[in-house]
Structure 1
Amino acid sequence: MSNLSYRISVRVRDNRSSRNARNLAAFLAQRDEIRNALEDGWTVYQIWETLHAEQKITTSYNAFCSQVNRLIIKREETALPKTKRAYQSPSPPRHAANTAGFTFSSTPLKDEEIL
């Protein structure tokens, strides 16, 4: 977290800001840790429960889920496709088959007719 982000979160927390502003500041202060925990495979509930027990997050579980979806998951989803497209080579269509091999024809050749 940058120095400015830390100062903003402290100011919002200590000020008589709205409850939503305090909850958002607390979440943003923990965002990198939350993202890392998600990448490590922990569930959103386990992360919320731990942060709530440590009193780092005071918001409800439902509000925490909304923040995770809005500020971590959806932001990464919108950023990810742009970088994916830049580095992925186009894949061949599924229906394109290798034509160097056996080819079936339903009409018999004249010289192969059996009488």
Structure 2
Amino acid sequence: MTKKLSERIAERIEREKSNSRVVNKASLISLKNDIQEARSAGWSLRQIWITLSEEKKIKVTYQAFCKQIKAYLDNETKQFETTLTQKQKHKASVNEQKITPQKNKSSSFEFSNVANKEDIL
């Protein structure tokens, strides 16, 4: 038995919708180096989007473009930066351990699990 027209329309829209997402993501990833180069040169996302749209290299709205940049490209940059900052923090902590002198154990806090009766009253 054939499906109703509304069901067929819904299926077609879902197919086109998923295909356009894949195409948009692929086009964005293929332009990744150009986009990152333009951003590092100081161009705004809006100017980059306008240029790529006029050249018909991307077919997304500005909002979708910004969302895709944040999801795909900024994520890679953040992962690289966090790796660098983790290495820098580790180096700083190692340097602090080497530089700071060892404290006397008598001046540090010591926990005793035996309660003093004077402290309780």
TM-score (ref. length: structure 2): 0.57
The equivalent of 1:46 in structure 2 is 47
Over aligned residues, Cα RMSD in angstroms? 2.0
What is the aligned length?
Answer: 77
Q: Which runs of 4+ in 1 moved over 4 A?
A: none
AA aligned opposite 1:43: S
1:21-62 deviation line (CA, Å, top 9, x unaligned): 111111111011001111111000000000000000111111
Residue 86 of structure 2 is aligned to residue 85 of structure 1: yes
Aligned-pair CA distance for 1:87: 4.0
The aligned counterpart of 1:28 is 29
Aligned pair 1:68/2:69, yes or no? yes
C-alpha displacement of 1:80: 1.1
Runs of 5+ unmatched residues, structure 1: 1-15, 93-115
User: Matched residues in 2 for 1:36 and 1:46: separation?
Assistant: 13
Alignment identity in percent?
27
CA distance in 2, matches of 1:22, 1:85: 35
SS in 2 for 1:18: helix
Partner Cα separation in structure 2 for residue 42 and residue 61 of structure 1: 15
Looking at secondary structure, tell me which structure has more helix per residue: 2
Q: Which residue of 2 aligns with 1:55?
A: 56
TM-score, L = length of structure 1: 0.59
Counterparts of 2:53 and 2:80, CA distance in 1: 29
